[in-house]
Amino acid sequence: MPSHYQPIENYGVIGNMRTAALVGMDGSIDWLCVPHFDSPSVFAAILDDHQGGRFRIAPTGDHFRRKQFYWPDTAILITRFLDEEGVGEIEDYMPVGGVGEEVIRRVRVVRGRVTFHLECRPAFDYARATHQTLLSEDGARFDGPGLSLALASPVQLHLSPAAHGDTAGVAADFTLGEGEKVTFVLRRVCSDDQQRPCPCAGEAEDLFRETVSYWQRWTAKCTYAGRWREVVLRSAITLKLLSYEPTGAIVAAPTCSLPEAIGGQRNWDYRYTWIRDAAFTVYGLLRIGFTEEAARFRDWLERRWKVHGEAGWSVSQKGNGPLQLMYGIDGRTELAEEILDHLEGYRGSRPVRIGNAAHRQLQLDIYGELMDAVYLHNKYVEPVSYHDWIHLRELVDWLCDNWKRPDEGVWEVRGGRQHFVYSKFMCWVALDRSLRLADKRSFPADRHRWFKVRDQIYEEVMAKGWNEHRGAFIQAYHTEALDASSLLMPLVFFMSPSDPRMVSTVDAIRRPLTAGGLAADGLVCRYNPAVAPDGLPGHEGTFNMCSFWLVEALTRAGHTDRARLEEARLLFEQMLGYANHLGLYAEQTGYSGEALGNFPQAFTHLALISAAFNLDRALGSLRSR
């Protein structure tokens, strides 16, 4: 049987702030974990087309043209199939607001008559577990180990042989005429629940309208009214979809092991929450009016530092530091990495990994992002309490003792620890924001020591992080390799955007890869593994968020250099062209323009929001001069 992997950019995402599903332009749900983002998958055809499991509804035949779009200002995904004889579409969404883990698929025909084929074949526990399939007059039930799913169907289903010959799935063919609709509901059920019938037409319409209303009420809170508003709002909706409502955490992406290069080994699990995303998340959400979401994420962060603080800094992370760099969405600390040998990986990209061993790394930059997030929350949302300050102060004191240590760095390399420049200047950010917060709130602190360490870090970065030969800040001390993370220096106010060293660094990064830079047609690599080995074989695509960092670095320099501001706008609008048809970004873009890596990636959408906000403001100031 031939495999039929869709391009990663062919997918849309739906969700309910507990989990998310990827829906392809062919009408197939190829990724879904139940009940949570980081639960084992029940559909994973995107990682193994033969045995991963899917839930597909599509017209019979291959002659239909396809379109896919979101209902305006919502996370309801419409997949439309067009042909001379008929036009049909599927409305896919997950209800929100405590309804439960449900996927709603309403199929309707707009014009003519269309015959559809349905196939629902779960593969429990990443396709490692078998299950029992039971048919009833109201649909089908799939009972796996510790998890049961029910598919409510208005059409008669029959058993469908799975890849290995057992009756693991169900299928059906049905024809609809113009104006006719049917609704399928896939839900998690308890072992003793009885099969519930499909909602009637009126109930299905009410549920659809309630979901539309929820999302449109939420998007109405957006205060951003500048250029590219639709793009910014779609990024905000995507971030909302990637948030875990019970705790306020935001996953880096809803997927695992989508490759950074086809056939390569750089395949990671991103269904967790990184401390590093803290400042960018709080800043991005606050800038466009989503104060509640920023506050929920800050509350999640608070629980992390309180848990470790109350347990004692010395007992956590086996000596790697007060905080882990990432956690489970429920706050758990153990994220053991495991390889699923039985899955072939997206288009043969092995290994397929779940869990993430990087959670045990030392990454000193996270303290800078954390303290920046706390500072922003104190400034724009709610004052930090003295009880919180006690824990944060202990954390900063620990950093004063440990900032000189080498670490694995922002990119989580697996080739050994180094003195990464990004880690160092983010330690400076931690001290700087802590001092500002202490002064603003008159909190007690060892100011003399904090000032001394902050200045010491700055001087060391200037002396050891700057490479005169390259005319740029480099990735790590005693190297000549460039790193796109240097673009964040002016964004965190470590350097002036117009400082000659910063201008030279930006220019060096923007040079083409063949000329020793990191850019390729406006796209930016995070670093060059051939020059800066990271302990992993192979190569990768360009990092989308790094391109948005470049936009923002040029924007900030544009306050004194109009030409750079115009370059920033050109680059930003060029980057918009690398989104998929729904405005979604994967982690990376390949050299042929294809999406690579986990999808959609929260950090990229956060970087887009920040770049759009600051670029729009700068262009407005330019016009008023």
pLDDT of residue 307: 78
Residue 205: inside a domain: no
pLDDT of residue 622: 75
Question: Percentage of residues in the chain with pLDDT exceeding 70?
Answer: 96
Q: Over the stretch 501-510, which tens digit does the pLDDT of each residue have? A: 999 999 999 9
Question: Percentage of residues in the chain with pLDDT exceeding 90?
Answer: 86
Confidence of residue 521 (pLDDT cuts 50, 70, 90): confident
* CA pair distance 109, 578, nearest whole angstrom: 32
Answer yes or no: is pLDDT of 100 > 70.
no
Do 236 and 134 share a domain, yes or no? Answer: no
State yes or no: cis peptide before 529, omega within 30 of 0: no
Do 605 and 562 share a domain, yes or no? Answer: yes
Q: Kindly report which listed range (128-137, 163-172, 183-192, 483-492) carries the lowest average pLDDT score.
A: 163-172
The stretches of 52-139 forming alpha helices (DSSP H) are 124-127
- Mean of the pLDDT values across residues 292-309? 87
Residue showing tokens 């309804």: 99
Residue 98: inside a domain: yes
Reported pTM: 0.96
Count of residues in the chain:
625
pLDDT of residue 391: 94
Confidence of residue 28 (pLDDT cuts 50, 70, 90): very high
Confidence of residue 470 (pLDDT cuts 50, 70, 90): very high
pLDDT of residue 190: 85
- Domain edge (last residue) among 218, 253, 281: 218
Cβ neighbourhood burial of 230 (10 Å; 0-12, 13-18, 19+): exposed
Do 274 and 140 share a domain, yes or no? Answer: no
Do 233 and 192 share a domain, yes or no? Answer: no
Number of other residues whose CB lies within 10 A of the CB of residue 220: 9
- Domain edge (last residue) among 183, 218, 253: 218
Average pLDDT, the chain: 93
* CA pair distance 308, 461, nearest whole angstrom: 30
Confidence of residue 522 (pLDDT cuts 50, 70, 90): confident
Q: Kindly report which listed range (309-323, 376-390, 448-462) carries the lowest average pLDDT score.
A: 309-323
pLDDT of residue 572: 97
* CA pair distance 11, 21, nearest whole angstrom: 10
Do 59 and 114 share a domain, yes or no? Answer: yes
Do 174 and 260 share a domain, yes or no? Answer: no
- Mean of the pLDDT values across residues 39-53? 97
Confidence of residue 3 (pLDDT cuts 50, 70, 90): low
Do 143 and 251 share a domain, yes or no? Answer: no
Answer yes or no: is pLDDT of 439 > 80.
yes
Answer yes or no: is pLDDT of 9 > 70.
yes
List residues bridging with 327 in a β-sheet.
Answer: 273
- Mean of the pLDDT values across residues 340-362? 96
pLDDT of residue 150: 95
CATH of the domain at 135: 2.70.98.40
Comparing CA positions, the residue from 615, 605, 624, 611 lying closest to residue 243 is: 605
Comparing CA positions, the residue from 499, 583, 510 lying closest to residue 551 is: 510
Answer yes or no: is pLDDT of 179 > 70.
yes
* CA pair distance 206, 200, nearest whole angstrom: 10
Answer yes or no: is pLDDT of 318 > 70.
no
- The larger pLDDT score, comparing residue 538 to residue 144, is at 144
pLDDT of residue 243: 96
Do 410 and 499 share a domain, yes or no? Answer: yes
pLDDT of residue 114: 96
CATH of the domain at 571: 1.50.10.10
CA-to-CA separations, 569 to 287, 363, 522, in angstroms, rounded:
19, 33, 12
Do 339 and 462 share a domain, yes or no? Answer: yes
Do 160 and 249 share a domain, yes or no? Answer: no
Answer yes or no: is pLDDT of 165 > 70.
no
DSSP secondary structure of 245-279? TTTTEE-S-S-B---SSTT-S---B--SEETTHHH
Q: Name the 3-class secondary structure at 81.
A: strand
* CA pair distance 32, 24, nearest whole angstrom: 12
Do 319 and 392 share a domain, yes or no? Answer: yes
Q: Which domain holds residue 171?
A: 8-196+211-218
Q: Kindly report which listed range (132-146, 231-245, 294-308) carries the lowest average pLDDT score.
A: 294-308
199 sits in which H/E element: none
- Mean of the pLDDT values across residues 18-46? 97
Q: Are 363 and 407 in contact (CB under 8 A)?
A: yes
Confidence of residue 201 (pLDDT cuts 50, 70, 90): confident
> Which is it for strands 595-596 and 588-589: parallel, antiparallel or unpaired?
antiparallel
How many structural domains does the chain have?
2
- The larger pLDDT score, comparing residue 181 to residue 101, is at 181
Spell out the residues 6+ positions from residue 472 whose beta carbon is closer than 8 angstroms to its own: 466, 482, 486, 504, 505, 508, 509
Do 168 and 287 share a domain, yes or no? Answer: no
- Mean of the pLDDT values across residues 611-617? 97
Q: Are 390 and 510 in contact (CB under 8 A)?
A: no
Residue 3: inside a domain: no
Answer yes or no: is pLDDT of 185 > 60.
yes
Answer yes or no: is pLDDT of 316 > 50.
no
- Domain edge (last residue) among 171, 188, 218: 218
Answer yes or no: is pLDDT of 162 > 70.
no
